[in-house]
Structure 1
Amino acid sequence: MTATPRPDARPSPGWRAVRALIRRGLLRTCRRQLGNRALHLADGEEVRWLPEDIERFLVTLDHAAEEMREIAGLQGLPDAGSRLMVELAIYTVAADAALRHHGVETGCAHAVVADVGWDLYRRMLRLSSLPARFISRDPGRRLRWTIRALLVFPFRPVGAPGYAARVFRDGDDLKTHFTHCPPQTFARTAAARHADPELLEAFRQSWCLYDWPGADLIAGDGKRGHYRRPHTLSAGDPVCDMCWKAQSGEPTLSAGKARASRKGNV
C-alpha cells in the first residue's frame, strides 16, 4: 500500500526560499532575545541561557516546527498571504512548545514568544507603512492607506479557509471585521491536536495583542489609542471587529508628564 503524502511534503522552490528567509530571520531574532534576558523556569529557578543552551533550543524549535507544519495544511490555503501568515504562526506555536520543553515556565515562554514576534512584526509594519508615512503627515490617511495595502497582501480577504473579512469606512476610521483568520485557525487546531491549550494562549498573547501598538506605529503621530477591538476570534468570539481610528485623542506619555509638571508649578 502506498503511503499518503503529507499535504506540505513537496513545497515549491519559491516557497522553500521564502521559508528559509523566515527561518533565518527568526533564528537571528531568537538568539538576540534569548541572549539578553533572564528566563524563569518551571521549577522556580531564574537563569540566563548560554549560547549552547540557545542552540539546543533552536534545534528543538526546528523539530517542533516540522511537527506543526504537518497539521497546518499550508497547501490547502487559497493564497500566498494566508500561507505566509500560517508559516509564521507555525513558528510562534513551535517556539512556545520548544521553550516549555526546555523547562521554561509557561508565562515566561509566552512573553518570550510575544517579544520575538513583535520584533519581526514591528519591522514588517515599518516597511509596509513607509510609503504612507513618507507621503502624508495625517495619521488617519497613514492608517487607512497602510491597512488597505496590507489587505491586498498578506491579509487579502479571499474567504475561508483564507482570510474572510468585511471592510468598510466609518467616517475617517477604517473598520475590518474578520470572521476567519488562518493563523488563528491553525493555532486552535494545534492546541486541540496536542491537547495543549497554552499553544493557543501563546498565539493570543502575541499576535492578538500587536495591533494596538502597531496602529500607533503606523499613525506615527506620537499618540496611542489608534486601534480598538472589542472581540477576537482567539477568545472564541465570532469576529475580530477591528477599528483603525484616525484620531486617537490620547496624548503621548511625555506630553502627559509635561502637563502634570505644569500643573504642579501653578
Structure 2
Amino acid sequence: MTFLSGSYCGSPPAPAELWARWTLDPGLLVALAIAALCYCAAAPRAGLGRTQRWCFAAGFAALTLALISPLCALSVSLFSARVGQHMVLTLLAAPLLVLGGAARLLPSQLLRRLAPLGEPIAAALVFAALIWFWHMPAPYAATFENRLVYWIMHVSLLASALALWSALLRTDRRGAAGAVAAGLISTVQMSLLGAWLTLAGAPAFAPHVLTTAVWGLDPLADQQLGGLIMWGPGCMAFLIGLVPPALSLLREEAPAAAAR
C-alpha cells in the first residue's frame, strides 16, 4: 500500500530547517493523548502516588519528544541520531514509565499472558535480540522503506525495554538475583553491539550513505558515533539499573552472613 511506503519522518533535513521539522502526525498525537488520559483516569484507582505520577510524566514527555521532535527528522540523515532516539526510548522513557506504574494499568488478563516475558533473563534476552535485530543493516534499511516496519521497530523496542526495566527494578528477594543477572546480560550485549558499530572498518547502513556529509560527517564516522552512544550511555544505564536489585540482595544476605 503506497501510503505505508517511504520514511515516516520525511526527507533528510538540511541543518537550517531542522528545528522546524516537528513530526506532528495526527494519528500519533491522538494515540499519545489517549494514553495520557487513560493514565490520568486510572492512576487514582490504582493508588499511584505523587512521585510515581511525576515519573510517568517525565517518561511520557521523553517518549513524546523522541517521536515528534526534530530528532525524528534528524534520524533520517544520521544513524547516530536514530541510535540516540532509541536510547531515549529504551533507557530513559522506559524506566521512568515503569517507575510511574504504567504496567499496573494494563488489564490483568494481558499481564498474565505476558508474565513469562517479564522474567528477568527472558526479558533481557528478548530485548537483546530486538536491539541487535533492528540495528542490523537489512532490517534497519527496511524501516526507511515502509512505515509499518518503522512502527514495528519502535513498538517492539519500547515494549521489550518496558519488560526489561520492570524486571531490573524489582527489589523483592525472589526477583533480585534474576534482575542482577539480566542487568549483566544487558550491559554485556549492549557493549558488544556498541563495539561492533564503533570498531567497524566500513559503513554498514545504506540509508545514510548520502545523507551525512551536510552534517560534517562521513557515513563511517556517523556509524561510529552511534556505536559510542550505545556503548557509553547504554552500558552505564544498565549498570545503574543493577544497583537496586544488588542492594536488595546485600540486605537479604547480611543477616544470614552475620548469623553464620
**Structure (1/2) with the larger helix percentage:** 2
Structure with the larger RCO, 1 or 2 (CA within 8 Å, 6+ apart): 2
Q: Same fold (TM over 0.5)?
A: no
**Structure (1/2) with the larger strand percentage:** 1
TM-score (norm 2): 0.33
TM-score (norm 1): 0.32
